[in-house]
Structure 1
Amino acid sequence: MTSPVSLYVYDLSNGMARQLSLQLTGKQIDGIWHTSVVVFEKEIFYGQGINITAPGKSHHGQPLQIIDMGETSIDEDTFNDYLNEMRQHYTADKYHLLEFNCNSFTDDCVGFLTGRSIPAFVKDLPTDFLSTPFGAALRPTIDAMYRRPGTSAPPSVPTPAAAVNASPNPQLAASILQAVASQAQSNGYSPQPATESLTSPIHIVTNTASFGNFLKSHRAAVAFFTSETCPPCRMIEPVFERLSEEKGLADGRQGAGFAKIDIDGVGSGLASQWNIRATPTFLFFLDGKKLDELRGADANELRTQIDLLLFQAYPPHPHTSISMPTIQALSLNPIIFSQVPALETAFGKLSSFIDEQSTWADSATQSRASVKGVMSSNVLPYLKSRFQPPTPPPKVLPSATPSILSSWTQASSAIVAELPVESLFPLVDLWRLALLDPAVGNWISSLPPGTSSQDPVNIFLPKAISAQDSTGSKGARNYILTVLRFLCNAFSSPSLARKMLRDNIPRSQISAILIPSLLHSDPLVRTASASLAFNIAAVIQKDRVESVRTGRGIQADSEDYLADWEVETVSAILEAYDREKENEEVVHRLAAALAFYLRLSPQYESQIKPLLEVLQSREVLRSKLNKGPGWNAEGGLAKKDVRKLVEEISTKLCV
């Protein structure tokens, strides 16, 4: 006789993840999934230990989705024995929102009952979340939530400084996470105090299906086959736990997954499958395939084998072992254009352009009067209060509110639609100034998808691209120059910079304005474009340096969206460097940008290095060290720090 098995799926965010995940994390996440298994007319789930209710009667209410997981031939008494043994492993103090949660439990149960696994969209949620900049930044906080023993209250969620830079609205994200954590671990009863902290991300594996899922979800994996009656196992277990802390996936770093299987209990089937005849035995896996085996309680050999496994799984970037003092000393701070224009003069000029435009369409989204009203009544007072404050200035400068920015964006869209390009530079310059206010970049980066008409970046870039056709026009030159400076300041906002780089449309538009401007005949345009190239490279380099520092490592698949774009940009920078004959500061900024692109690029060996050889990059770089045709400096580059930088790039990165 068989019994049906179902998976009940709940969304702990109550729809907030679907609505807000894209703007908070840069990735669409449709729900924060909680699951339970329903069999023998009971709903079983893990939170504060293992809990059993009538189907649909838990504190989570009615499930969002019910998934048929097939049938089981296991009888109810056998399943109850299995649950009693599982209660020793799935205790309240071991719960972890990402590593060891309700879905870990249901995957084990479904595997025991049917030999199947729960759906990938549920199992992959932690990986999807951690792959976002905000998820990686918030990971240490989530770990800390579940490493504080002796508390009966829901864990609090302090928002780390890194998360502030990784999400446009970290306070909202943290509050959502707090609610999710409270919902996830609550079971409708008074929670019991934790008896011990979760010391390491160790997965308790009980059956073939859950072990298979464990191997699929970890590129590098270590399995510890142990026994309650084995004295050497008790000796080596603390070492295994410490190694899982040091070399596991905690804090967003690249590491191994660690699993523990008790061969005397429900894990006996796995022991038989893998021919485990003695304990302790450790198996080491890479991409799901067994690499090696270690028998006995040899702590030094265990550490050596794990280090070797991680080296094979995540080989270090070849440049991390090369000393590059000049490149490493380069500042990662963005180049910004902070000059404050005479605001009344700028507004007067823009107002006169609006009044002089004879073809303002009757069908325009906003009339001349309404546009000028927004600019004079909302925008000008804000800019004056922040950038021309009274003397002495207030301790806290006022920031732009969403209502000011929304009305300003709508007015800007109407102005750009009606005025010719030569009349638009005052408007862009005011936005360039406003981007020095962190609230402006955060607001733009938080705009949801499908609202490009409300995004100043999207409003100004298409016009700048089309203006490049008017190469001899002074008005087009002014507009392009101002947009480049506007973009430089935009890249001073970490959240906005990441959004622009990750979104294909603004990234391609930025390339379309940046690359031709690097070769522009006007030296100020070349200076601004070199500054923008540096700022973009600095943002990318900062993330890569942090990945190396924290041990997360840099893998090509983590930057797939940048691969072709980076090759094109490196090629353009080298050409601009080669052609620059006048301005040493432009050469310096281009060389620094190039250094950032080359040093830790995950595409270096596969794409960048062959490109450098084809372009004869070493010869191109070193050509500026000696006096050459058209180069003004006697004996080549004059500044010692620029010469050192060029020499270091050419000798250590272009080989």
Structure 2
Amino acid sequence: MDNIGTSNSIPSQNKNHVRLCVGKNVVEMGLARQYSRTLTGVQIDAIYHTAIVFNNVEYFFGQGIHRKIPGSTHHGRPMQVVDLGKTDLPVDVVEEYIHSLAEIYTPESYDLFLHNCNNFSQDLAMFLVGKSIPDDIRNLPETFLKTPIGQMLRGQIDQSMRKMTQAPDAVAGQNVASSSSAAKPIPKSTTNGVSTAPITNGITHKQPSTAIINAQPLSDTPGQVHYISSLSELDRLLEAAHNSCAVIFFTSATCPPCKIVYPTYDELAAGAGTKSGAKLIKVDISASPSANAVAQRYQVRATPTFITFLKGQKQDEWAGANPSQLKGNVRLLLQMAQPSQHRHATLKLPTFQRIIGKPIMCTRTPPLEKLLAKIGPQFTQDQSVQDLLSYIKTRDDKGMTEAPIPNLHAFSDHLTSSFASIPANTHFAVIDLVRVAAVDPRVSSFFAAEHDHKTLSTLLSGAGHSDNFSSAPYNIQAVSLQLACNLFGSNVFQEQVFHGQSGSDLKEKIETLASQCLLSPHANARSMAAALVYNLSAYTHNQRMHNIPDEDASPNDDLSAALLESITSLSSVVSASTSNAASTKETLHALLLALGMLLYAAPPEDMLWDLCRAMDLRGALKEIKSSDLGVKDEPLLKEVGDELLGKGAF
């Protein structure tokens, strides 16, 4: 329950040290111990608030998730500081995980008894060190609600305490800036993702809104005038504006006309924003000899003088204090500096000329008892598995806000140590169990942040088929692909895969899985592999839509080649299977959707264009359209074949 944080009595700590700070409610201090037994029949010593302190930041839940400097809140001294241990997780990964919790721990979801600061502390502690917060704190709401008076007064107490726990003064204190770009709020998407057909029957539960981490570009902020007084400062700014534009305004303290255009210049700098990369520079040549040296470089002898640069080259020069001329020239320069429109923007491509807001995920839960029966008691009787099952049932029945994550550290240890000894024909059921759990971004974030990704490495290794999914049984292919798709519900996973640093090995595993399953003899497996390619391509596609090149996040060439081969060989795969026309069309649609994502707005030097030409993909699509596969009316044959590979090819 709530409401006390930390104080300056918290011991100093190393960055990787994790502490739980426990306090009593400011108003209820002492009252719970005095009256609880009389009112409820149960002794309750205090109403607790908890916070986690890590990397010298205090994290807690109230009006959403808060980050404060430890000791800066008004809540007073903590009753107790519990040392939870150390974590090896990098600070940026922890920040990304906390950001993923923001979809679950919203101001609207706060409930004094069922979804409070202690639930948040529990989730964060389990993620960081695999330890629960003390049971007497965690179970206190349940203890109170089991009493008749607790049930009767629950609503009244929640409403009265909410005014304190969520009021502005309840979270007062100095804010701490997030250390990760991923901790910026995920914008609400205005576009819908693509859903895949489930392969198992079951229920679908409500899940947090999931977005591709760049579904919207970072919001722009007003630019500013850069005051410089040396050539080194100038060179640094011009280099920063090499792909955009720059303006140098030469002025002096003894120049009255210069002051006429000062407000106009400030306004232009603010309007240019920071995203444009434009640099508006001001040099007072009378300020110092070094500033005068800047004027000498450009042979400036009068003020005000303006010199502009476009893409690193001098563009224009003029003198005089004319605000209208200054506005016109700078605005034209800013327009010229904008990235040129890609030729694909003029084509008729409604499927691809949009931001990808959501990844494809498979969120259905199969009948759990049947799943357990397939796995067998050897694996499922372990307490960590039982805890995971209990969590899934609670999550599906009551929602994620009432389902704290179990001890995933213990589950991971059990899975990785016993997976090889489980009969191979039950591996798919274990993977499916993890797939169901990974719908929750808290769970998928844990697996993405695990040291050496040991759980995912165990599961995504071909499940005993020599690291080759192309020869794995269909059920292994299907659940592995769906697990990989569900991982994209975690911004921790997305950050690692799309930004390709600590997650480069993880990205390689995911791309290998997709590449091998794209060549599966099962058409449905190819369709699901294409869905995974869609998720892998989404970030790069959005960057292109935002005119922000980031080709490092693009899928590798082997994956692109496998996708093309999967399309060109689709006829033989369909002929060898019992797929009906609807299934064939669905598979083709998924493959073309993934290909279009990779092709749209791709630069001419992208190897994918060479592969398309070498494999005569446009011709292959024409053959598929005229074949007896029943796909003539597939709209993506026109968009990809005629528009992208025809009018949009290089």
- Structure 1 residue 275: Cα displacement: 1.8
Find the aligned partners of 2:531 and 2:606 in 1 and give their Cα distance.
Answer: 27
Matching residue of 1:462: 461
Instruction: Tell me the residue number matched to 1:440.
Output: 443
Q: Is the 8 A contact 1:621 1:650 kept in 2?
A: no
CA 1:283/1:135 → structure 2, altered by over 3 Å: closer, same or farther? farther
Aligned counterparts of 2:557 and 2:293: Cα–Cα separation in 1: 51
Counterpart of 2:369 in structure 1: which amino acid?
A: E
1:464 Cα deviation after fit: 4.4
Residue 200 of structure 1: SS of its match in structure 2?
coil
2:276 maps to amino acid:
Q
The answer as to 2:635 corresponding to 1:587 is: no
Counterpart of 1:41 in structure 2 is: none
Q: Deviation of residue 587 (structure 1)?
A: 0.9
Q: Residue 647 of structure 1: CA displacement?
A: 3.7
Which residue, 134, 137, 140 being the options, matches 2:182?
134
- Report if the CA contact (8 A) 1:494-1:539 is conserved: no
Partner of residue 203, structure 1: 226
In 2, distance between residues paired with 1:421 and 1:442?
Answer: 27
CA distance in 1, matches of 2:412, 2:238: 49
Structure 1 residues 638 and 620 mapped into 2: Cα distance closer, same or farther (>3 Å)?
Answer: same
The 8 Å contact of residues 361 and 489 in structure 2, kept in 1 or not, is answered as yes
Change (3 A) 1:209 1:644: closer
User: What are the residue-to-residue correspondences of 1:19-168 with 2, within 5 Å?
Assistant: 20-23=90-93, 133-134=181-182, 166=213
When structure 1 is superposed on structure 2, of 216-225 and 520-529 the one drifting more is 216-225
Query: Which residue number corresponds to residue 328 of structure 1?
Result: 353
Shift of 1:518: 0.9
Which residue in 2 is equivalent to 1:270? Answer: 294
| 1:591 shift after superposition | 1.0
**Distance (whole Å) between structure 1 residues aligned to residue 272 and residue 514 of structure 2:** 42
Q: What secondary structure sits across from 2:371 in the alignment?
A: helix
Partner of 1:649: 644
Q: CA deviation at 1:307?
A: 4.3
Aligned-partner SS, 2:307: strand
Q: Is the 8 A contact 1:487 1:532 kept in 2?
A: yes
| Stretch of structure 1 that moved more, 216-225 or 464-473 | 464-473
| Rounded Cα–Cα distance in structure 1 between residues aligned with 2:539 and 2:328 | 35
Does the residue aligned with 1:441 lie in a helix, a strand or coil?
Answer: helix
Q: How many residues are treated as equivalent by the alignment?
A: 445
Stretch of structure 1 that moved more, 418-427 or 514-523? 418-427
**Aligned 1:176-325 pairs, distance under 5 A:** 200-219=223-242, 220-249=245-274, 253-266=275-288, 267-285=291-309, 290-298=314-322, 299-300=324-325, 303-304=328-329, 307-308=332-333, 311=336, 314-325=339-350
1:586-625 matches, within 5 Å, as 586-601=587-602, 603-625=603-625
1: CA distance, partners of 2:464 / 2:181: 30
Instruction: Classify 1:246/1:470 alpha carbon distance in 2 versus 1 (closer, same or farther; 3 Å).
Output: closer
Matching residue of 1:381: 390
Distance 2:552 2:335 in 1: 22
Letter of the 1:554 partner, please give it. I
Q: Deviations over 1:429-474 (max 9, x none)?
A: 1111122223223334455xxx1145x333322244845658666x
Does the 8 Å CA contact 2:540/2:551 hold for their aligned counterparts? no
Q: Does 1:340 align with 2:365?
A: yes
Partner of 2:518: 518
Offset of residue 653 of structure 1:
3.2
Secondary structure class of the residue paired with 1:261: strand
Query: 1:385 and 1:646, CA in 2 relative to 1: closer, same or farther beyond 3 A?
Result: farther
| Unpaired stretches in structure 1, ≥5 consecutive residues | 1-11, 27-125, 140-160, 168-197, 356-368
- How far is the alpha carbon of 1:373 from its aligned partner? 1.8
| Structure 1 residues 209 and 461: alpha-carbon distance in aligned structure 2, compared to 1, 3 A threshold | same
TM-score by length of 2: 0.60
The Cα of 1:313 is off from its aligned counterpart by 7.6
8 Å contact kept, 2:524–2:587: no
Sort the Cα spacing of 1:316 and 1:15 in 2 relative to 1 into closer, same or farther, 3 A.
farther
How far apart are residue 416 of structure 1 and its match?
A: 2.4
**1:488 pairs with 485, 488, 502, which one?**
485
What does 1:496-511 align with in structure 2 at a 5 Å threshold? 496-501=493-498, 502=500, 503-511=503-511
In 2: Cα distance, 1:465 partner to 1:211 partner: 60
Residues 313 and 323 of structure 1: CA distance in aligned 2, closer, same or farther (over 3 Å): same
For residues 343 and 505 of structure 2, what CA distance do their matches in structure 1 show? 32
Residues 44-86 of structure 1, C-alpha deviations (whole Å, 9 max, x = no match): xxxxxxxxxxxxxxxxxxxxxxxxxxxxxxxxxxxxxxxxxxx
Distance in structure 2 (CA, Å) of the matches to 1:295 and 1:137: 45
Contact 1:422 1:479 in 2 (8 A): no
- Runs (5+) with no aligned partner, structure 2: 1-14, 17-53, 58-87, 97-176, 188-207, 215-220, 575-583
Distance change >3 Å, CA 290–CA 439, structure 1 → 2? same
Give SS of 2:526's match: helix
2:427 is matched with which residue: 424, 428, 432?
A: 424
Q: TM-score, normalised by structure 1?
A: 0.59
Secondary structure of the corresponding residue to residue 528 of structure 1: helix
Offset of residue 382 of structure 1: 0.1
Distance 1:199 1:520 in 2: 51
- The structural deviation recorded for 1:245 is 2.2
CA, structure 1 residues 134+374, in 2 after alignment: closer, same or farther (shift >3 Å)? closer
**Contact 1:317-1:554 at 8 Å conserved across structures:** no
CA distance in 2, matches of 1:375, 1:19: 24
Cα distance in structure 2, aligned partners of 1:595 and 1:273: 50
Tell me how far apart the structure 2 counterparts of residues 25 and 274 of structure 1 sit (CA, whole Å).
Answer: 47
What SS class does the counterpart of residue 407 from structure 2 fall into? Answer: helix
**Matched AA of 1:23:** V
Q: Secondary structure at the match of 1:429?
A: helix
What is the CA-CA distance between 1:488 and the residue it aligns to? 1.4
Distance 1:136 1:493, change over 3 A: closer
| Distance across 2 between alignment mates of 1:472 and 1:570 | 20
Aligned position for 1:407: 410
CA RMSD, aligned part only? 4.0
